[in-house]
Amino acid sequence: MTDYKEQEEAERKVYQQFIGKYFIQNQRQDKYAEWAGAMIEIPKQRYEELIDLNSLMHQFALIYRKHLEVQMNFIEIENTINEYKEQLETCSPRESGVIQRLAFIDINRRLSNFLTSFNSLIYDFLAKYMVPELFGKKSEKAKEYVQKTNDWFSSNINGYKFIVTLRDYATHRNLPIQIVGFKFDYDKGKDQKLTVKPYVEFRKSTLQENEKLGRKLKDELDSLPDTFSLTPILDDIKIFIDEFLCDFVKFCGKMFTEMADKLIQHYNTLDNPDLVSFGKVDLRGNVQHIYFQPDILKKIKECE
């Protein structure tokens, strides 16, 4: 407690020198309760520029987090399938039936979460909110983005059309997957090991019973057998998901890359940057910190 109070008093004395001023600060903290670093005054104009740049950075950070949510939900589908596979390989025979019934619901739940977050990113978040926010509601860029979504759907790039249409079915009609099964192979030798191979499939005839889905996906479904696997569909849309964030950065032109370059320049103002912030100290001595997010800036630079 004494160490903390001493540190608090030391910081107070530092900030007293900056009352009514703006600053950039670099804190280095290799151990708890031990701080070091540097702090310099900056002009108000530079502070205001940093406020604007930081605001744009936060908009990108929100896009990045929404995209990361989609990726996480995608990964959870395969993880959940593998988890039930492992459970079935080690459970007793009397437990197997219950686990398989739970697997059917849980795997459908994971896929539904992915479908919802995917559609939410593309349409609800970007098309309806963020792109108009960045470029203007009636801007050419806003129109261009909507046209892109139409092109993705009509061309069915990476199975996009199937994923988007399946989301409506999963939300308003029924569980998206009709078949969740497991093949069992029991080694009667000395190892007596049970191997389980899961399979997750759609039943075309069931999907076609829904008039809206059957009409929208008529050409796609007509070319498929009555039961078809989820796996190649996920493999296909994964390509689209993995490339989406950087494609969106490029769609925005130099907006995000120039912002990242400028913030990185400010971030490197002080030697050996670590926990870097900018802010101001008001006339009462209250300190406002706004922290740089180098991980977000790095993500933008990876898209160049």
| Residue 1 pLDDT > 70 | no
pLDDT tens digits for range 181-238: 999 987 766 566 789 999 999 999 999 999 999 999 999 999 999 999 999 999 999 9
Report the number of distinct structural domains present in the chain.
2
| Residue 66 pLDDT > 50 | yes
Which residues span the domain enclosing 199?
54-253
CA dihedral 279, 284, 285, 287 (to 10 degrees): -30
Q: Is residue 302 part of a domain?
A: no
pLDDT tens digits for range 42-53: 999 999 999 999
Over residues 113-117, the mean pLDDT reads 97
pLDDT tens digits for range 142-189: 999 999 999 999 999 999 999 999 999 999 999 999 999 999 987 766
Q: Is residue 70 part of a domain?
A: yes
Quickly state the pLDDT bin for 31 (edges 50, 70, 90).
low
Q: Is residue 84 part of a domain?
A: yes
Q: Is residue 49 part of a domain?
A: no
Q: Is residue 95 part of a domain?
A: yes
Higher-pLDDT residue of 31, 257: 257
Q: Is residue 300 part of a domain?
A: no
Does residue 269 sit in the same domain as residue 149?
no
**Which residues, 6+ apart, have CB-to-CB distance to 220 below 8 Å?**
156, 161, 162
Shortest CA distance to 51 belongs to which of 284, 282, 275, 266? Answer: 266
- Encoding tokens for residue 15? 């900030």
Does residue 111 sit in the same domain as residue 225?
yes
Task: Write down the pTM of the prediction.
Answer: 0.90
pLDDT tens digits for range 262-294: 999 999 998 889 889 999 999 888 889 899 999
The whole-angstrom separation of Cα 167 and Cα 34 is 51
Does residue 19 sit in the same domain as residue 87?
no
Three-state DSSP class for residue 276: strand
The whole-angstrom separation of Cα 126 and Cα 140 is 15
Does residue 24 sit in the same domain as residue 146?
no
pLDDT at 13: 73
Does residue 105 sit in the same domain as residue 20?
no
Q: Is residue 88 part of a domain?
A: yes
Burial 236-270 (b: 16+ CB within 10 A, else e): bbbebbeebbeebbeebeebbbebbebbbebbebb
